[in-house]
Chains A and B, each alone.
Chain A
Amino acid sequence: MNGPKRSAVASPRTETGMSIERMEGIEPKGEADPDAVPDAPASLPLDAWHEAHGGRMVEFAGYHMPVQYEGVMPEHLWTRAHAGLFDVSHMGQLLFTGGGVAEALEALLPADVKGLSEGRMRYSLLLAENGGILDDLMLTRLPAGTPFASGEPGAAWLDTNGSFYMVVNGATKWDDIAHLREHLPDEITLNHMEDRALLALQGPEAAAALARVAPGVEALSFMTAGAFTVAGVEAWVSRSGYTGEDGFEISIPAVAAEKVADALLAQPEVKPIGLGARDSLRLEAGLPLYGHDLDEETTPVAADLGFALSRRRREEGGFPGHARIMLEREQGAIQKRVGLVVEGRQPVREGALVLDGEGSEVGRVTSGGFSPTLQRPIAMAYVPAASAEAGTEIRLEQRGKLFTGTVTPLPFVPHRYHRKGA
């Protein structure tokens, strides 16, 4: 039996831990350095704050994190209707400075880094030599004089050569940093800003709530960023997120995290949201989760992330896996990541099998759960390319039980980003 193991009602603590384990890629990987992640879970800057606000804490990506406050379902629906405050301080916040930094990053990512304007950001992928995905990330070109610049090593370069801010997944950040340090030239400085916290405020009322404590943020459009004062704290704010809703991600010094979180939570639109709803929100938004929907075995084409391959970079090459990725673009990948709506009420979860007409395994469900917005089970799966067309029925098996899914365009729930001119 290949389905995910379940725990008894007996051990809710274990159960919560297991669900989180399945939620983001913290399963030990064969090649992972056992020393890369601290053994005992570490505390993040808002640890006590979460407990004081009723957060149920679990271990996640090596940290104590809140899985939920009042419950996944109400937190999910609150975020879709109002604004949810997420602590994502476990994620890696990296600063790159030095001469030729854009060129150096282009050697590791398929994004048009050189063409990125100040204050603009891109979704990109850290790629292995074979085109497999090492991590997915957000990259922003910083203007001179950002809150990160003062006193940082390499700050002298900020005015003349540009600098970049990268946010990577918490579970993979140590491997990412090792990979980046190994492959970037010596003149590039990588600063892992462990002294910073990262908050996300997401939902249709996020802009109104944040603008009250951070005047001016309403001028940002989706995938742009800038320096703002949030509740009196110097912050780097981007209009981006992981829920499909309009919203912001707010980088602040760790010492000021409680002050900013308090100021945001004081807004009537805002409630704290845990990792459980973060996962169900991103699934509805069709956004992949590294370690589950993406890994070193998946390529950008199979993962349906072709938009992350900029045209100039496709034509010029010069990033890891270029030859294989271009071949897949022309000939198609063997499998493709798709969205599935599942018949019935029972969720089909990560690890469920995709079967062909003969009952042979031809793919896997990589994320699955119950959609609070749609009130039905949804999933992401890798299916054979020939079965990836919308409307195709997909046979699934979980714990010996058969299910039927139908390929559905992603996202399941429409994105409501605040795009420029909108």
Chain B
Amino acid sequence: MAETFFTKDHEWIRVEGDTATVGITDYAQAQLGDIVFAETPPAGAKLEKGKEAAVVESVKAASDVYAPVTGEVIEANGALEADPALVNTAPESEGWFFKVRLADASELDGLMDESAYKAFVEGL
């Protein structure tokens, strides 16, 4: 069964076995506004926790999406190229960015669960 974690960088990580799907939260997309471009890492790319992994651009600004965990990219969401607005309309489902094979499951320790993230956002 999948378990979803959240970062203070407003990313979500859905973990099933050693596979993690990563995207940005509904809060993040609302803050960014209309997404006009999203660049995802290619399959095979080695991501390092805390390092730039993807780029998301709104009308007014570019922002980095950092890798919340270390691992190799299994798949990028090709749908974002044609329809970057998926990040706005379905941020926590169809608007996912990439899937990685977790290198170190202990990196998930200390991440927030949904209720902790909700409290975190309310405190902003």
Contacts and interface: CB of A to CB of B under 8 A. Distances in A.
A19 B62 CA distance: 8
A67 B8 CA distance: 23
B66 A276 contact: no
A68 interface: yes
B64 A16 contact: no
B49 to A, nearest CB: 13
A9 B59 contact: no
Contacts of B124: 13
Given A9-B65, A72-B34, A347 B57 contact: yes
A349 B61 CA distance: 8
B24 A280 contact: no
Contacts of A72: 33-34, 58-60
Contacts of A280: 59-60
B35 to A, nearest CB: 10
A347 B57 CA distance: 8
Contacts of B93: none
B65 A23 contact: no
Interface residues of B, number: 29
Given A12-B28, A12-B32, A6 B37 contact: no
B10 A10 contact: yes
B117 to A, nearest CB: 13
A311 B3 CA distance: 72
B56 to A, nearest CB: 7
Nearest to B39: A346
Given A9-B10, A16-B31, A68-B33, A349 B56 contact: no
- Scoring A9, A11, A76, A276 by chain B CB atoms within 10 A of each residue's CB, the highest score goes to A9
Contact of B10 (A12, A16, A71, A279): A12
A43 interface: no
A9 B60 contact: no
Contacts of A13: 124
Contact of B59 (A12, A15, A73): A73
Contacts of A347: 36-37, 57, 62
Given A72-B33, A349-B62, A10 B57 contact: no
Contact of B31 (A12, A76, A345): A12
Contacts of B10: 9-10, 12
Interface residues of A, number: 32
A253 interface: no
Interface in B52-96: 55-66, 81, 84
B62 A9 contact: no
A392 interface: no
A74 B97 CA distance: 25
A8 B64 contact: yes
A284 to B, nearest CB: 11
A349 B59 CA distance: 10
Interface in B83-120: 84
A213 interface: no
Contacts of A73: 33-34, 59
B61 A370 contact: no
A346 B60 CA distance: 12
A150 interface: no
14 contacts: A4-B62, A7-B64, A8-B64, A8-B65, A9-B65, A9-B66, A10-B8, A12-B28, A13-B124, A23-B60, A73-B59, A346-B55, A349-B62, A372-B59
Interface of B: 7-11, 24, 28, 31-34, 36-37, 39, 55-66, 81, 84, 124
Interface of A: 4, 6-13, 15-16, 18-19, 22-23, 67-68, 71-74, 76, 276, 279-280, 345-347, 349, 369-370, 372
